[in-house]
Amino acid sequence: MHYLLLLGLVFLFIALLYQGHALLSWVLPLGIGFLYCKITGSWGTGAAGLFAIYALCVTIFGIRPIRRIVLSKNILPAMAGIFPKMSETERVALEAGTVWWDADLFSGRPDFKKLIDFKVSEPSSIERSFLENECEELCRMLNAWQIHNDRDLPKSVWDFIKSKGFMGLIIPTEYGGKGFSAQAVSEIIAKISSRSISASVTIMVPNSLGPAELLLHYGTKEQRDLYLPRLADGREVPAFALTEPNAGSDAGSMTSQGVVCKGEWEGEEVLGMRLTWNKRYITLAPRATLLGLAFKLRDPDGLLGDKPELGITCALVPTDVPGVVNDRQHDPLGIPFFNGPTSGEDIFVPLSFIIGGPEQAGQGWRMLMDCLSAGRGVSLPGLSGGGAQAVVRGVGAYTSIREQFGIPIGQFEGIQEPLTRIGGLTYVINAARKLTAGAVDAGEKPAVISAIVKAYLTEAMRDVVNDAMDITGGAGICLGPRNTLGSAYHGMPISITVEGANILTRSMIIFGQGAIRCHPYAFEEMSATWERDVKRFDRALFGHVGSIFTNITRASLLGATCARLATPPLPGPTAPHFRQLTRMSAAFNVCSEISMATLGGSLKFRERITGRLADALSWMYLSSATLKQFIDDGQNERDRPFMEWGCIHAHHEIQRALMELLDNLPASMLGKVMKMKLFPFWSRVLPPSDRLGSKLAKALLDDGEARRHLSQGIHIPGPEDLGLGRLEAALDAAVAARAPRKKVKDAQRAGKLPRGAELSVLDEAVQHGLLSEIERDLVIKASISRDEAVQVDDFPSPAPLN
C-alpha cells in the first residue's frame, strides 16, 4: 500500500508541477502523505524510507538544473532516434502557415471563449454590391447545358469575366484588381458554383494558388508592376504547373528541371536557365498566356554560388516563348473547363523570370506551401458551399412538389433520411467555410484547418450530392437543361482530387502536420532534439509529461460522467454540445499521445491510425464551426435542429474514429483499457435521433424560412430557367394551393365530393361553395406547374446503323 501511495504522490507532484502549479505540487502531495500516515498510524521506518524515496524523486523531477543533468541530457539522444526522419520537403511543409483554433482542439482544453469572441469577417459594402450586381449578372448569363454542349464558356461570358474584374478578385486595387477579402471571394465562388461549375473553376483558379498569389507575396517590384495589372483585367490568363506524370502528391520527386547557364535573350547574352518540363492536370493551361512553373533548379557550373542543387523553384513563363507547348487538353469527367498538359524542352529564359528574382532560387516549395496553407481554405470550400446550397434549394423544392401515393415524397421517412443529411451537412459546410475564410481575413494562414476544410467539405458535398441523386432518381440521372444535379455529380471527384487528394490529405497531412504544429509540445521537442538544446528539450518534455497526466485524468472523468463535469461557455441549447466537444478534445489528446508514444516514428507510416486521428480532429473543427455559426446568428430557433444535428453527428464521428483507433492499436491491452476509460458504454454518443432528423427534413419543405436561410448565398434563376427556376415556380404554386387542396380532400373524405382525381372534382367543389374560383385556379395552376417541373429531358434518337 505504501508503494502505491508513493507512486500516486509522485504522479500527482509531476502533474501539478508541469501544469504550472508549483506551490501546490509541493504542498498537496506532502499533505496527503502526512494525512495518510496519521490516519493509518504508519510512522515507522518503512514510511520514512518511502518518503525519502519520494523526496529523491521530487528533487530529480522538481529542481530543473538537476533534472536536466540527470534525466533530460540522457533522454535527448534516445528521443532523436524515436522522432520520425524528415526530408527538407516534409519539414518545409510542416513549418508552413500558422496555428490557430486547431491548437486549442489539439490541447484537450479548448478555450471556447476565444472562439466565441472571434469576429468572423463579413463582405464590405463594396463587396456586397459586387455580389448583388456583377455576380448576379454573370449568373444570369450562364447556361450550364449550353456550356456543356459547347465545351466552353461563351465569348460574351469570357469577356464579362475579364472586364468586370473576376480574374483579379485578390489583386489589390493599386494594381487594378478588386482587393477583396477571403470571405467575399468565398461567397462569390459559392454563388457562381450554384449556377455553373465550369465558370466557378475558371474564376477560382486565378484567385487561388497561382501566379497572382505568388507575385503578391514574393514577386519583385518589377514583376508585380508588369504582371498584376494584366492579370487583374484578364489580358493575361494564368495557370500554375506543378503536377507531373510521376510526381503528384510527392511533389519532391518532380523531374522538371532548370539548369543555370548563359544564353541569348532579346539579342543580348544574359545569365539564365534552360527549362525542361512535362506537366499534366493543369487547370487553364490550354488557355493560359502566363504559366507559373515549378521545377528543380541546378547550378552545375557554380554561376550563382557553390551550391549545385538549388531545389524547387517557381518561375513565370509567357506561353508565347518559343517551345512552350500548351495546345492540348484533358476531359475531366465531361465538365467543360480548360485543363490540360503543358511541356517544354531546353527552353532558355532569363533568371529574372524566377518569381522574386534570382534571390528566390530554390525557395519554390516554401512559397507554395505558405500560399496553399491559406488558399485551399477558400476556393474549394466555397465551391462546396455553393453546390450544397443549390442542392438544398432544388431538392427541397422537388420533394415538396413531387407526389406519389397522393402525398409529397418529402413526407416519407425514407426520403426524409437522406434529406436530413443534406440539410445538416449543408449547415456544417457553410459554417466551416465562413469561419475559415474569417481566419484568413484575420491574417492567419491556417495550414491544418485549410487541409481539413478542403478534404472534409468536399467529402461532405459528395455525400450531399449522392443523397440528392437517390432522392430525385431518374430526374437526377437524365442530363439536359432540366437537370440540376448532373454537373455537380460529375464534378465532385474533381474537387476531391485537386489541391491535395483527399486520401493523402486525410491519411498524412492533417494529423501529420497537426501532431507537430498544433501539439503544445511536440514541435518544440523535435526542434530542441534536432538542435541538441537540452534546456529547451527539458522544458518541453516535462511540460508534455504533465499535460499527459492531466488530460488522461480529465478525459476519464469526462467520459465516466457523460461530460457533465465540463463547463460550457454559454448556457442554453449549445451547452450540452460544448460539453461533449470538450470531452472529445480531451479524449483526442489522449489517443494522440498514446499513438505517438506506442508507435514513435513508425506512426508516420501507419496511415489507418493517422487517418482516424485526422477524422477526429476534423470533426472537432466542424463541430466548433457549427456552434460558432449558430451563436453568431443569434441562436435562432429556426437553425437549432441544424446545429444540433451537425454537432451530434460530428461527435458521433469523433467517437467512432477514436474507438476504432483504440481497437487497432498494436498495444491491444492498452487500447482496450483506454477505450473503457474514455468511452464507457453508458456514456457513448448516439447518432442523431430519427425525431431530430424528421424535424430538420420538414424544415426544408414547402419553402420554409430554414430552407431560404440555408440557401441564401446562391443565385435563384427566374421561371424561364428549365431547372431550378421551374422548380421554384412550381413550389410557389404548390404552397399557394395547399389550403384549397386540403379543402378538396377533406370534402372527399366527408362524402361531400365524389372520390376521384383532384382536377375532376374542382368545378363541382366550386358549385357547392367548397372552393372559390380563385382557389380552383390555384389548384389547377399548381397541377400544371408540378407536371411541368417533374418532366425530364429527351432528345432525338440517332438513326439505326445499317
Catalytic residue numbers read 499
Cell (9 digits) for 482: 432540366
DSSP letter, residue 68: I
- In 3D space, the residue among 162, 157, 193, 156 whose CA is nearest the CA of residue 177 turns out to be 162
How many CA within 13 A on the CB side of residue 39? Answer: 6
CA 394 to centroid of chain Cα atoms: 24
Cell (9 digits) for 523: 514541435
Q: How far apart are CA 237 and CA 596, in angstroms?
A: 46
- Residue 316 and residue 307 in contact, taking contact as beta carbons nearer than 8 Å: no
Residue 31 burial (CB count, 10 A): 11
Cell 502549479: give the residue.
21
Residue 458 burial (CB count, 10 A): 25
Burial label for 84, CB within 10 Å (0-12, 13-18, 19+), is middle
DSSP letter, residue 206: G
- In 3D space, the residue among 518, 763, 756 whose CA is nearest the CA of residue 618 turns out to be 518
- Residue 206 and residue 189 in contact, taking contact as beta carbons nearer than 8 Å: no
Distant-in-sequence, close-in-space partners of 591: CB < 8 Å, separation ≥ 6? 613, 616, 658, 661, 662, 674, 678
Residue 364 burial (CB count, 10 A): 29
Q: How far apart are CA 381 and CA 629, in angstroms?
A: 16
Residue 719 burial (CB count, 10 A): 15
Could you tell me the end-to-end alpha-carbon distance of the chain, in angstroms, rounded to an integer? Answer: 95
DSSP letter, residue 753: S
Own/partner long-range contacts of 414-420 (Cβ < 8 Å, ≥24 apart)? 415/471, 415/697, 416/693, 416/694, 416/697, 416/698, 417/693, 417/697, 418/467, 418/468, 418/470, 418/471, 419/395, 419/467, 419/471, 419/697, 419/700, 420/645, 420/688, 420/693, 420/694, 420/696, 420/697
- Dihedral sign, CA of 726, 728, 733, 735? positive
Work out the angle at residue 468's Cα, subtended by the Cα atoms of residues 435 and 501, and round it to the nearest 5 degrees. 55
- Residue 585 and residue 107 in contact, taking contact as beta carbons nearer than 8 Å: yes
- In 3D space, the residue among 651, 490, 662, 669 whose CA is nearest the CA of residue 584 turns out to be 651
**Residue 477: C-alpha distances to residues 327, 470, 484, 728 (Å):** 33, 10, 10, 20
Amino acid at 476: G
Amino acid at 36: Y
Q: How far apart are CA 564 and CA 585, in angstroms?
A: 14
Q: How far apart are CA 699 and CA 465, in angstroms?
A: 19
3-state DSSP assignment of residue 76: helix
